[in-house]
Structure 1
Amino acid sequence: MEQAADKSSILVIGAGTWGCSIALQLARRGYTEITVLDGCSFPSPIAAGNDLNKIAEEANDPSDTDSDEDYFWNRVHQIAMDAWKNDPLYKPFYQETGFIMAAVGNDAYKHCLQYAEGEKAKLKPLNNAVDFRSTMPEEVLTGSFPGWRGFLKDTGAGWVFASGSLRAMQAEAVRLGVEFVTGRSEGKVAGLLYSSSNDTVLGARTADSTEHRAAWTILAAGANSDLLLDFKKQLRPTAWTLAHLPLSPEEAKKYRNLPVLYGVDRGFFIEPDTEKPEIKICDEHPGYCNFIEVNGELRSVPFAREQIPTQAETRMRQLLSETMPQFKHREFNFARICWDADTVDRRFLIDRHPDLRNMIVAAGGSGHGFMTSPAVGVMVVDTLEGTVGKRLRKMLKWRPEISVNRDWWDTQGRYGADGRVMDLQKVTEWSSIGKVK
């Protein structure tokens, strides 16, 4: 059994989704000396969680499976959804609207069938355009849905208001005494601080040369975590693409309370934002990486950009053409690339570092990081206190042995686009969405 940490000083690197969840959970459990560092002002414009909305879905009972993999995801979703449905802080941001999983290609549809077979809830098959249109009010899904097949889960799923809940987590953490130090100088971490023997992390040094020392350091910097610590190829920073479709106030009323429509090889959209009449549109693909050589090795290095490749916009137009053609020519008013960090098996990496004392890593959202963020905070603090359950700990552990010969181009079970991971270094045309022409 690991030795539990006392209620001493904690330094959290990263004020994104996971950093805020971790800080909040620490404060709720009575830790009083908590500092969070981030190189951007809050909320960070590059944080994946600073977004309109994210898909959320309940899981099956984790006790019903012998598979460690299934147990892991069901247990994580169980913890997270308990917070989204019952915690007064999170509850206002969850909308149970239902969820449609569908596909066009045969391989992608097999993924939908596997999803349906694993569901305990009763699902409605959707086999043609009439079926899809019946899931939403008249005049919403006017497309012909060529080749689309899928399933509707009308309860136990929906979406969460991402940026709203991110701000709520941070505000409550501040109310409970957490200090957030942000900005390109005072908040940006330039490097970790090590003991003279290099076996203990003492904190971090920021760009203004300030040393922030703490009894424990938690690295939760998302896709940027890989820049601060050698993860031994366990993380691959990967980007996805999104745009916002503006609606009139009258249109927005018609598009409320809609099931999330997710095409695993096309993309997805969620009903209008609660603050502005805009729908988030995402094209689906195995991801973009930014491959450059770092110290003689090929690495994907994240960067911020409020533009997307023109090919991504074309894919979004195809999604609209097939589902809501009334919007296929409407100009988007915002776009950006959104980064996460993929592990080889797409499970999270939350563990005490095996070679560095007083260091906890919390990374590898792998596309599941926001919806499960309430659970992440719990699991990280349980890791700090040495109370993580045996089965969860096994699935969360530091595991470089499975990344030794990692294929950086592995699609990791994702579909869409040309069925391959794309390199941002090879993108020649970027959209001008939201830019002055």
Structure 2
Amino acid sequence: MDGLTHDSSILVIGGGTWGCSIALQLARRGYRDIKVLDASKFPSPIAAGNDLNKIAEEGNPPMDDSDENYTWNRIHQMSMHAWLNDIILKPFYHSTGFIMAACGDEAYKHVLDYAAEEKAELLPLNTADDFQNTMPKGVLTGSFPKWRGYWKKKGAGWVFARGALEAMYAESMRLGVRYVTGGHQGKVDSLIISSSAEDVKTVSGAKTADGAEHKADYTVLAAGAYSDQLLDFKKQLRPTAWTLAHLPMSTKEARLWRDLPVLYGVDRGFFIEPDEDKHEIKICDEHPGYCNFVEVDREVRSVPFARQQIPIGAEHRMRLLLAEVVPHLADRPFSFARICWDADTPDRFFLIDRHPEVSNLMVAVGGSGHGFMTNPAVGVLAVDALEGVMEPRLQKMMKWRPETAVGRDWYATQDRFGADGKIMDLSIVKDWTSIGELDESSKSSVSTTV
């Protein structure tokens, strides 16, 4: 950007998965005046990265020279290089391997297509014994009805998400990044936008709920699903939610379940080994996603909200996954549950670009389900975009592109499977689990109205 120097003031809106990564990369490149705003105290209870674990995979050399394949491979390469080598991040990556499978025919075709692009050695899994033998005796006790897939023993695993997020936060603070978080002082109500006589718009910071104005030379909007409430993205973002729960385990069980490959059923759900502190295992059901469709200014939009509960339907799907895979745990009560928001772009490529019509504003949004695994790369890409040095092929795929959202189908499943194969609407969900309740600390951080 013209005029950008290491002395320029930079405001990052959003202190979650991407915001922390961007702030850290800015500080590492020598920028000295960085402020991050977030409505929640760190780590935010609604940040997708504030989680036990996330699946991580290394990239593959592209099957062809298309921009699409090149971009994903490059992003994965950048990310995995950081997970394996960055002194801050490498303690949190666990190279345990990855099992990918499906029950339905359409979902299984997706598995086969995915496997066809793999360069690593894959072991076919077609029977209950095949699946059970991927883990120590006594872990997988289910009959795996209709399950088919493969085992990728190397080149994949999982990341201790919350630990990595906390490490990025601490290192960015050590390097001088200032965080203003929690309550009205951190909750951004609006961008500060001015227009010239020639109708040229410029962002000069943001206004928070306490009335304070946070001025900056450059502003980076990286507030995840909430970003859609601060800027007109011309339908490029669809806030979409998924569901997770924690299952408590004994010390003996947790010991048996250590260092397991990730088990992922593309139309059932997944789990990863228990955490070391509480001995809880995260269970996720797999589905195209939940939206919260409401009418805003005569248009239907999905508006995120925080809740430490999940729909009863989600719990039923999680219980089905457990019954088919680990039936000895299928009836154990959950200890925690919540909905987890992301924002889908129409093509599921990230949106990381300088705004073409608003000066001094950059957006880094649209995780589309890939946000945490690739978050080390996102920090690099976002600062590259701010400096105007992003690799041209990557910039082409992640640019501001409202033309892709013209006539957008809000109910598009975007190559996801599970549940009834449809996007579900939280605005009509009546029955929720009694595991938790609406998170009091985040009621004011993500509004259900604009």
Say whether the fold is shared (TM-score over 0.5). yes
Matching residue's letter, 1:276: K
Q: Check the 8 A contact 1:102/1:149 in 2, yes or no.
A: yes
Q: Secondary structure at the match of 1:200?
A: strand
Q: CA deviation at 1:222?
A: 0.2
Deviation string for 1:266-304 (max 9, x for gaps)? Answer: 000000013220000000000000000000100000000
Are 1:56 and 2:21 matched, yes or no?
no
Residue matched to 1:137: 136
RMSD of equivalent CA atoms? 1.0
Q: Secondary structure at the match of 2:240?
A: strand
The 1-side partners of 2:276 and 2:406 are apart by 45
Residue matched to 2:293: 291
Q: What are the equivalent positions in structure 2 for 1:320-335 lying under 5 Å apart?
A: 320-335=322-337
Q: CA deviation at 1:61?
A: 2.8
Q: What are the equivalent positions in structure 2 for 1:26-45 lying under 5 Å apart?
A: 26-45=26-45
Q: What are the equivalent positions in structure 2 for 1:171-210 lying under 5 Å apart?
A: 171-197=170-196, 199-210=201-212
Deviation string for 1:297-351 (max 9, x for gaps)? Answer: 0000000000000000000000000000010000000000000000000010000
Residue matched to 1:351: 353
* Structure 1 unmatched ranges of 5 or more: none
Tell me the TM-score normalised to structure 1 length.
0.98
Q: What are the equivalent positions in structure 2 for 1:63-212 lying under 5 Å apart?
A: 65-197=64-196, 199-212=201-214
The 2-side partners of 1:130 and 1:3 are apart by 62
Match of 2:307 among 305, 311, 325: 305
The 1-side partners of 2:376 and 2:276 are apart by 21
Residue matched to 1:362: 364
Are 1:20 and 2:20 matched, yes or no?
yes
Q: Secondary structure at the match of 1:382?
A: helix
Matching residue's letter, 1:356: V
Q: CA deviation at 1:124?
A: 0.5
Q: CA deviation at 1:214?
A: 0.7
Residue matched to 2:396: 394
Q: Secondary structure at the match of 1:401?
A: helix
The 1-side partners of 2:162 and 2:325 are apart by 26
Matching residue's letter, 2:18: W
Residue matched to 2:445: none
The 1-side partners of 2:195 and 2:355 are apart by 18
The 2-side partners of 1:334 and 1:161 are apart by 18
Residue matched to 2:377: 375
The 2-side partners of 1:123 and 1:183 are apart by 46
Q: CA deviation at 1:78?
A: 0.3
Q: CA deviation at 1:434?
A: 4.5
Q: Check the 8 A contact 1:35/1:179 in 2, yes or no.
A: yes
Label 1:389 to 1:4 Cα distance change in 2 as closer, same or farther (>3 A).
farther
Q: Secondary structure at the match of 2:183?
A: coil
The 2-side partners of 1:83 and 1:432 are apart by 39
Are 1:270 and 2:272 matched, yes or no?
yes
Over 2 Å off, 4+ runs: 2-5, 195-198
The 2-side partners of 1:389 and 1:434 are apart by 45
Matching residue's letter, 2:318: M
Q: CA deviation at 1:4?
A: 7.4
Matching residue's letter, 1:385: E
Q: CA deviation at 1:185?
A: 1.1
The 2-side partners of 1:270 and 1:249 are apart by 16
Matching residue's letter, 1:375: A
Q: CA deviation at 1:184?
A: 1.5
Q: CA deviation at 1:194?
A: 1.4
Q: Secondary structure at the match of 1:88?
A: coil
Q: CA deviation at 1:400?
A: 0.3
Q: Secondary structure at the match of 1:137?
A: coil
Matching residue's letter, 1:290: N
Deviation string for 1:189-226 (max 9, x for gaps)? Answer: 01001124261100001111111111100000000000
Q: Check the 8 A contact 1:3/1:386 in 2, yes or no.
A: no
Q: Secondary structure at the match of 1:338?
A: strand
Matching residue's letter, 1:92: P
* Structure 2 unmatched ranges of 5 or more: 438-450
The 1-side partners of 2:21 and 2:33 are apart by 16
Q: CA deviation at 1:3?
A: 4.8
Q: Percent identity?
A: 68
Q: Check the 8 A contact 1:5/1:386 in 2, yes or no.
A: no
Aligned length: 433
